Each structure stands twice: as C-alpha cells, then as structure tokens.
Structure 1
Amino acid sequence: MSNPQERAEVLLRQLVPDDASRSVGPDRQVTANFSSGSRAISSYERIHGQVSQDPIDWSTVETVATKQLTDVLYAKAEGIAKVTINRPEVRNAFRPETVEQMSTCMADARDDPDIGVVILTGTGTEAFCSGGDQSVRGPGGYVGADTIPRLNVLDLQMQMRRLPKPVIAMVAGYAVGGGHILHLVADLTIAADNAVFGQTGPKVGSFDAGYGSTAMARIIGQKKAREMWFLARLYSAQQALDMGLVNSVVPLAELENETVKWCREILRNSPTALRLLKSALNAAEDGHAGLQQLGGDATMLFYHSAEGNEGRQAYMEKRRPDFSKFKRLP
C-alpha cells in the first residue's frame, strides 16, 4: 500500500467511529467530521471491542476453606474476586479475626484459576478501612479471641504483594491508618470523590516502618511521605490523586462500576504477562523476597516451554537431553 491517501484512509478507519465522515484533502491532511454525540473510539476498542458497562452479578461465598466468614464478605463473578471488610460499626477497622479471614479469601483467590483480579473494599460509603481496631489493641498487638496479641496485618500486606494477580483497592470514605496502608500495598486504587486518606498512627501511638513508610515514599516521594506521617493530616481524594497516591477518582455512585470496568479490561490481558510484571515491579522494593517471587514466576513460565519439558522427559526416559534444537538467542 504505497499510496499515502490509501494509508491515511486505513489509519482513519482505525481511529474514527463509523458514524463520523472521513476525508483526505488534496494537501493530504486527514479530517473527520463527528456526528453529534459521537466520540473517537481508540484503535484498541475497534479491535477488541468496548469493555462492558453492564452491572456485575456477584455470587456470594459464605464459607472458604471450611471457615465461616463473619468479619468479611467474599464474592466472585466474571473472573473477579471481591473481598469486603464488613465491620461498618467501627468504620471497617480490623481485628485479628478480620485479617485472618481476609487472608483466607486472598489465598482462595490466588488458588482459583478462574480468578484473574481481586477487589479489596469495605462495607458502606463511610469507610474503606480505618485501620486496626484500637479497642482490642494490647501490649503486643491486636488481641483476638484466643487472647494472643498479633500484628497479622503485616502478613496480609506481604500476601497481597505476592499474590500473582492484580489487587485493586476500591475506596469510599476513610482509608486511614492501617487501612491506608492496605490501599497503598494494593496494585491500583480507584477512589470515590468522598474518599479521605491519611496516616493517623502518631496520634494514637503507632506507626508502620515497613510498607507504610518505604512504599509510600517511593510512590509520593520522601518529602510528602514525611509530611503525611509527621503531621498525621487527612487528604481529600483529589489531593491523593494529585500526589499520585491513587489512580482515579470517580463519583461515589459510579465507584463499583468503574472499578469493575478496570477489572474487565485487565482480564483481557495476558495473565502470565501480568504476573511477571507485578513481580518485576515489586522486586526492587521487596529485596530477596521480591527476587524470589520474580524468579519463581520465571521458573513457572519456563516449565511451560518445550525446552523445559525436554529436560524432564529425558530424565523420565533415562536418556541424555537434547538441547541442541533450542537456539542460543542474543
């Protein structure tokens, strides 16, 4: 296709909706006239189709790994798992049982091959999560029914980081203290316009010297992270967006629809690519543990290859493996 006019027409068909007229002028300038109400459709949408805007029909899961869920709601649909902190009476503050149930749901989502993305949220519109429940905080952590003080939310943070599927925090209302850190360690954050963000630890004699400090500094910068911790102020959704703390802000009424839209778009992409990208993006911050995850993901990918299978088959057949057929690429 050597004719510039033909090339321009092909390009225009990719970028302009069908209800818009197209033309290439004598000066080879491409123009398009859009009808009222039409919008430019991206080439991605023209090839793959637009993401569905239909409401999602969740299926509730009441028992996970023989455990009855009390502090958490768990649901699945369309390859999406949704974990909801269900303690609205305390602004979705977590206690050890809450964290244990969240961890159980995250493990289930990891092991379910039909799940490709996880949403983390809180019940109601007043709070995503207000952090640890101070009423059960003891000398060594948060005290559960077994009377043992724990800081098991730290394990949950690592679990979310190493879960080989994207985790999206869907935030309405307060995301403060330990709840703020949960959205921080999620891969993406979609916030409602009523969302409020901040670290409250210094006001209640607490702090997070792990992801809550280091990951935050990498995301928003050292100066802003120190401001957030040292002053313990609260920030609006727009302020959070401006500092790069969240990915998008939408009206409260559209929060779930927008989050589900992001999930549906993610699910169109290669699960192996997403897995390797997540572990690669985390590797530098997570040290040897991050490198182990990245290395393990690479091993899993290699096991799917003909070269990897040749070594196994040769061992099982008690013969010398023939790797000569595999190119030593630059």
Structure 2
Amino acid sequence: MYSTILTTLENGIFTITVNRPDKMNALNKDVVAEIGQAMEEVYTNTEIKSAIITGAGEKAFVAGADISEFTSLAKDGGMALARRGAELVFNKIENCPKPVVAAVNGFSLGGGCELAMACHFRVASENAKFGQPEVNLGLIPGYGGTQRLTQLVGKGKSMELMMTADMIGAEEAKTLGLVNHVVPLAELLTKTKEILTKIQTKAPLAIGHIIALVNQAAKCDPAGFDNEIEAFGDCFDSEDKKEGTAAFLEKRKPVFKGK
C-alpha cells in the first residue's frame, strides 16, 4: 500500500515508520503524501486508538527534508510546499483527536524536528539529536517550526537554536521541555507503547478535548477558557462520564467506549 512508510496496528496502537533508511528517512513529497494518507487512517479507523510516528533504523528519525526538491522552486513554489505539508501532515497530526506520539530515534533535524514537534509529545532515544538548521540553506523552518519550537522551549532558546542551526542532544532536549522521556534506543518503542497503553484506558472523548484545548493554550487562544468550560459541559452528556463516575463510586476500573 505504501512505498516510503511502514504501518502496523497492534493493541489499538498504529505505528507509522518512515522507511527510507538509506536517505536518513528524509522527507520528500512522497513521504509527506503517505504520512498524510496514514493519518487519514488514524482519523477514520475505529480500531486505531492512538499512533506512534518513528523512523526506520537506528541512525535517524527523520534527518530533514529532501533538499533536491527545493532547487527549482521560487516563492510561490516554496509557499505551496509549506502549505501542502501543513495541510496534509503537520496540522493533521497536531489536531488529531487521538494521541499521536513521536518516538525519536537518532537525528531529528529540519522537517524531521518539525514532524516530531507536530506530535502531541515526544519520547527520545539516548542517541537522538534535534535541530532546525534551515538558516544554513538560506531558509527558515517552513513546516511550523518557528511556531512550535517557540511554544515548546520558549522564545529565547528557540531564537538561538534556529539562528545558530545548532544541534542539541536528547538530555538537553528533555531539560528544555522538547521531549518528555529519554530512554535507551532498545527501549524506545516499548516505553512509547507503555505510555499510550495507559492513555488508551482513559476516556477517549475527554482525551480528544484535552488535545484540542492544550493546542489552543499553546497558541494563546483567548477563547481557551470559555472553550474549556463548554467542553467540560459536553463531557457531562457522555456515556463515558456516566461510566467513569459509576466505576469510581463502585470502586472498579471503568470501561470506556468513547461515547
């Protein structure tokens, strides 16, 4: 079905693996299109409860974009490239009502760092490296990097990282809040699946509201507080709320159905 990515579904967790290890899993138009198709599956397949995005091999998550696709582009082409990526992949990941987590193995640079940042949070292997080196090409991040890196690590550090094109290691990324956990490479997918397995025991509708509202908070949306109040009210109409409160009072584990 796909030529540049691999997908597997196990215990409700859909794993999307960028599979171009000979090219350090670099993003090209085909990879972007296929991740977009895979994300459509995440949205529409009720068997999928959550998703992981990772890279094939041990060296790279996604080591950047395929620069050879840039050489013939002028302004309109560059804008179209960025807009297509945002619509097909990056915004689709960020706004997905199901959890999408990046399992970052190795280099996560340029468009790869932006792909990881579009996910709801990140788990990194000890050999992971992050960076936005676009200024070395006379460019800036074009897949949301200027916005999401600033949301995650703050104005001063994002300015420095993007203007110097410096790479940072996994531990520094964790200190900055760019990643949530750092684990040995051999444990990366196990740790990520462990977290998602826990999340999958919670109420799916509530999880979806949390994703949407935290995204609004990250964008400093002034309507965020009012939207939280409305979403809180919506939860009260759900079967999951009835099940969750009943289970609590009956001292048993809830069984949520996402209704």
- Offset of residue 208 of structure 1: 2.3
Correspondence 1:80 to 2:13: yes
Secondary structure, counterpart of 1:104 in structure 2: helix
Which residue does the alignment assign to 1:246?
A: 179
Specify the SS of the correspondent of 1:118: strand
- Mapping of residues 276-315 of structure 1, within 5 Å: 276-286=209-219, 298=231, 301=234
Q: Which runs of 5+ in 2 are unaligned?
A: 240-259
**Which amino acid is the alignment partner of residue 202 of structure 2?**
N
Deviation at 1:92, TM superposition (A): 0.5
Q: Does 1:150 align with 2:93?
A: no
Relative contact order, CA 8 A, sep 6+: which one is greater?
Answer: 2
Amino acid corresponding to residue 213 of structure 1 in structure 2: T
User: In 1, distance between residues paired with 2:48 and 2:186?
Assistant: 25
User: Aligned partners of 1:162, 1:298: CA distance in 2, in Å?
Assistant: 16
Q: Distance in 2 between matches of 1:173 and 1:210?
A: 20
Aligned-CA RMSD value = 2.7
- Partner residue in 2 for 1:265: 198
Contact 2:114-2:143 at 8 Å conserved across structures: no
Q: Which residue of 2 aligns with 1:235?
A: 168
2:61 to 117, 128, 143: 128
In percent, how many aligned pairs have the same letter?
A: 29
Equivalent residue runs for 1:133-282 within 5 Å: 133-137=66-70, 138-140=72-74, 150-151=81-82, 152-155=84-87, 156-208=89-141, 211-282=144-215
For 1:26, the equivalent position in structure 2 comes to none
CA 1:75–1:224 in 2, change beyond 3 Å: closer, same or farther? same
Structure 2 CA distance for aligned equivalents of residues 153 and 83 of structure 1: 17
C-alpha distance in 2, partners of 1:84/1:71? 9
Question: What SS class does the counterpart of residue 8 from structure 2 fall into?
Answer: strand
Corresponding position of 1:71: 4
**Structure 1 unpaired stretches of 5+:** 1-67, 144-148, 307-330
Distance 1:167 1:123 in 2: 17
- SS of residue in 2 equivalent to 1:98: helix
- Cα shift at 1:210: 6.4
Name the structure 2 match of 1:109: 42
Q: Is the 8 A contact 2:132 2:141 kept in 1?
A: no
CA 1:220–1:302: 2 relative to 1, 3 Å: closer
SS at match of 1:150: helix
Deviations 1:254-275 (A, max 9, x none): 1111111111111111111110
The separation in 1 between residues aligned to 2:57 and 2:155, in whole angstroms, is 33
Matched pairs, number: 230
**Cα deviations by residue, 1:234-258 (Å, 9 ceiling, x for unpaired):** 1111111111110000011111111
SS at match of 1:113: coil
Give CA-to-partner distance per residue, 1:264-317, whole Å, 9 cap, x none.
1111111111100000001244588x97xx69x959x579669xxxxxxxxxxx
Instruction: Indicate conservation of the 8 Å contact 1:140/1:150, yes or no.
Output: no
Runs of 4 or more, structure 1, over 6 Å off, are none
**TM-score when scaled to structure 2?**
0.81
TM-score scaled by length of structure 1: 0.64
